[in-house]
Structures are given as structure tokens and as C-alpha cells.
Amino acid sequence: KHRVSVKTLQNSRSYVSGKRKGDKKYLMSIAAAKRSTKKKKKYVEPSYRLYIQKVLKKLDENAGMSKHGANAVNSMLKDLFRRISEEASRLLRLSRRTTCGKNEILTAVHIIAPRDIARDVAKLTEMKMHAYRRTIQK
């Protein structure tokens, strides 16, 4: 935690000299106020629940998912993302590159996923990249 001492406040330019110059309680209250204004933001772990619901609604509008089911799919997606990113970063270190591209991600998927799933992912990626390039060129 960030601490502000009384002596630091006495020596700082922001301290106004006056009637309360030696008042320790006053200086302690200033120190507490400075500490309370510098709060650290709490880390919020990313969640894919919203995207899971959107994909589910695209497949079937009447389909639903329980909270426990959504949590299970969410944890599976987080684990898959972690595995792919770790493998892609390992490939980048081996090739001595700093930028991760499509080829590194696809290679990581081929290493991690079974053969048929990796092949389907490669086909879908090519289709989406082709569509993306067409929209950029317009």
C-alpha cells in the first residue's frame, strides 16, 4: 500500500504553513485523504457468457442455457484461449518474432486440437479472412 508519512507532508510544498503547522492530527488526516484517493482498480476476469448466449440464440431462438451450463462453457473457452495463446507465444519465441499473426494462431490450433477440428478451424478462418479483406477493399 502507498503510505504518506507526516514528515513528508511537513516538508512538501503542498503543505500550507499556518496555525496548524505542528498539528499531527491534521497532518495524519491529510495523509489518510491522500491514501484514500489513490484506490487501485479491481481486476475483472473476462467472461464469454454474453457471446455464448448470442451464438446459442443464432443457432436456435428458443434454446436456453442454465447458469451452470454457461459457467462450464465459459471455463472451457477460457482454457482453450489460454492453451492457444501459450502455444502461439512458444512458437513466436522459437521463430524469434514479436508479432503474432494468423499463421501462428493456426499452427497453435493444429498442435492443440484434434486433426478434424483443426482442419475445420482452418477452413473457417480462411473464409472469414477472405470476407474481411473484401470489406476492407470496398
Q: Is the pLDDT of residue 19 over 50?
A: no
Q: Is the pLDDT of residue 10 over 70?
A: no
CB atoms within 10 A of CB 81: 12
Q: Is the pTM of this model over 0.75?
A: no
Sequence-separated (6 or more) residues with CB below 8 Å from residue 96: none
Pick the CATH number of 49-137 from 3.40.50.300, 1.10.20.10, 2.40.30.10, 3.40.190.10: 1.10.20.10
| Model confidence pLDDT, tens digit, residues 112-128 | 989 999 999 889 988 98
* Mean pLDDT for the stretch of residues 22-51: 73
- Reported as a pLDDT band with limits 50, 70 and 90, residue 57 is very high
Hey, where are the domains in the chain? 6-37, 49-137
